[in-house]
Each structure stands twice: as structure tokens, then as C-alpha cells.
């Protein structure tokens, strides 16, 4: 008899393998949470450099100092 684990969000049973890697939600609830979190991310090109992941919108102020107003 195998032990079941249940999602902390919806209460549905999910894979023991997923629980073994430390996940506490089912795949569907985990995907919803990830999509919500990624909506707050932005990728911005740095001047004469590569692209940077920006997770704090305040970091975008004055990022492009070649374009005008810099705060």
C-alpha cells in the first residue's frame, strides 16, 4: 500500500516523486503559482551589455541613462 500526499492548495493527491523533491503542491497548482510569480518579472537590455532579469520594478528607474531623464 502506497502512501498518498495531498496538495496544500487544492487538496488533491499528487505524485510521491514530486513530494520527494520538496514540492507541497500538485502540478496544476504549482504551475498557477509559477505563472503568477513570473508576471512580476521583466527582462531588460543593459547598455552595451547583455539582458538582465529585473524582479524589482524600482530597478528599472534610470536604467537606460542614454534615453533621457535619469532619477
CA distance 69 to 71: 7
pLDDT of residue 46: 76
Q: Let me know if residue 69 belongs to a domain.
A: no
Q: Let me know if residue 17 belongs to a domain.
A: yes
Give how many domains the chain has, as a whole number: 1
**Confidence (pTM):** 0.58
Q: Let me know if residue 68 belongs to a domain.
A: no
Q: Let me know if residue 71 belongs to a domain.
A: no
CA distance 13 to 26: 7
Q: Which domain holds residue 26?
A: 1-62
Q: Let me know if residue 70 belongs to a domain.
A: no
Taking only the tens place, the pLDDT of each residue in 36-52 is 888 877 888 777 778 88
Comparing CA positions, the residue from 61, 22, 40, 5 lying closest to residue 69 is 61
Higher pLDDT, 8 or 44: 8
Amino acid at each position: 500500500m502506497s502512501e498518498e500526499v495531498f496538495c496544500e492548495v487544492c487538496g488533491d493527491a499528487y505524485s510521491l516523486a514530486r513530494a520527494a523533491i520538496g514540492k507541497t503542491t500538485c502540478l496544476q497548482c504549482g504551475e498557477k503559482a509559477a505563472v503568477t510569480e513570473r508576471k512580476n518579472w521583466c527582462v531588460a537590455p543593459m547598455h552595451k551589455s547583455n539582458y538582465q532579469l529585473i524582479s524589482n520594478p524600482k530597478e528599472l528607474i534610470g536604467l537606460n541613462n542614454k534615453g533621457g531623464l535619469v532619477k
